Amino acid sequence: MVLLFIGSCFSIETVSPVMKVELSSTKVTHGSILIVKVFDKTARNVKIKQSVFPLFDGKDGVSKGVLLGVPTWWDIGGKYEVEINGKATGQTVEIDGRILKNEKIEIEKSKLVSNEETKKQGELLSKAITEFKNDKYWSGNFILPVEGKITTEYGMGRTVNGSQGGIHRGLDIGANEGTEIKAANDGIVVLSRKHILTGNTIVINHGEGVVSVYYHMSALVAVEGAKVKKGDVIGKVGSTGVSTGPHLHWGIWIFGVDVNPLELIEKNIEF
């Protein structure tokens, strides 16, 4: 039997299913972390506002994901749609405000140096912090690189010698001079040298956009190009560079965005 349909037009519209997306939180603050997990192997990238991040294979073998930091250019009060491969998912992220604290510090004017050499060193440090490595070296949560008292919290505003300074983009951990400092996670040492402002400085690239920094050390142990494991000794506590006493400044940057290092210790960061 043959069926003939005359005078009718049939069209079939192919609708692509919306990718299943999981967010570690739908309300975040500047400096916090956000994990985006996509249950579709064809997913290549995620876009939030104007920021685009690559997606990596998840540990379960069937999903893709990324660990990222919340930048200051995502406006407080803003509510942004999450896009995968340039397509809307129906998921949104809202940026919440946070309470800012402030501290006053006094530093010898002779230490507040600004010249061509400090500019050159700053550019070198910035390049090391923003260098992207596609491979993943880190695994599991990060560890505190040195035991001690947190003397300055992440995100603290600073007044330096009576003038408004910037925002503290890491943790200051007070400890005795010479105390061993350990790598917070596996990675490659991409910078290990003395800088005028940050003193003896190490930068470790952990892969997939994650980088950790260690400032003001009395001694550098790890050398540039070395592969280090979580817990390896990389240096010793000191007060080199612009510093008011023995401590470690420890910072975490993800895709060039500074985040609160404690979040990588306290929160589940695997995807």
Q: Is residue 255 domain-shared with residue 137, that is, in the same domain?
A: yes
Domain that holds residue 89: 21-95
Whether residue 117 sits in one domain with residue 86:
no
Q: What percent of the chain shows pLDDT beyond 90?
A: 79
Model confidence at 141: pLDDT above 60: yes
- The reported pLDDT for the residue numbered 2 is 37
Give the residue with greater pLDDT, 92 vs 157: 92
My answer on whether 154 and 259 are in the same domain is yes
Q: Establish how many alpha carbons lie within 13 A of residue 222's alpha carbon, considering only the half-sphere containing its beta carbon.
A: 32
pLDDT of the residue at 106: 62
Half-sphere exposure of 123 (CA within 13 A, CB side): 5
User: Is residue 122 situated within a structural domain?
Assistant: yes
Q: Which residues does 159 contact at the CB level (< 8 Å), separation at least 6?
A: 102, 103, 104, 105, 165
Sorting pLDDT into bands at 50, 70 and 90, what band is 208?
very high
Verify that 128 and 257 share a domain, yes or no: yes
Q: Is residue 13 part of a domain?
A: no
Mean pLDDT of 160-180: 83
Global pTM reads: 0.88
Q: Are residues 67 and 114 in the same domain?
A: no
- Lowest mean pLDDT of 5-14, 51-60, 119-128, 204-213, name the range: 5-14
Structure tokens at 104: 């006053």
The residue from 73, 95, 117 where one domain ends is: 95
Among residues 42, 63, 95, the one where a domain terminates is 95
Rounded to whole angstroms, the Cα distance separating 116 from 2 reads 85
Residue 8 in any domain: the answer is: no
Q: Which of 65, 95, 125 is the last residue of a domain?
A: 95
Beta bridge mates, 65: 37, 56
User: What's residue 63's pLDDT?
Assistant: 96
Q: Assess if residue 16 is contained within a domain.
A: no
Q: Is 194 part of a structural domain of the chain?
A: yes
Report how far residue 65's alpha carbon sits from residue 90's, in angstroms, rounded to the nearest whole number: 17
- Residue 106 shares a structural domain with residue 193: yes
Q: What does the pLDDT average to over 148-173?
A: 78
pLDDT of residue 15: 37
Q: Are residues 125 and 63 in the same domain?
A: no
- Give the per-residue pLDDT at 9: 35
What is the domain-level CATH number for residue 214?
2.70.70.10
pLDDT tens column, 59-88: 999 999 999 999 999 999 999 999 999 999
Q: What's the mean pLDDT in 3-12?
A: 34
The answer, yes or no, to whether residue 139 has pLDDT greater than 60, is yes
Convert the pLDDT of each residue in 89-121 to its tens digit: 999 999 998 766 766 666 665 566 678 999 999
Strand 56-57 versus strand 64-69 pairing type: antiparallel
Q: Return all residues near 43 (Cβ < 8 A) that are at least 6 apart.
A: 19, 55, 64, 84, 85
- Backbone φ and ψ for 109, nearest 5 degrees, come out as -60, -30
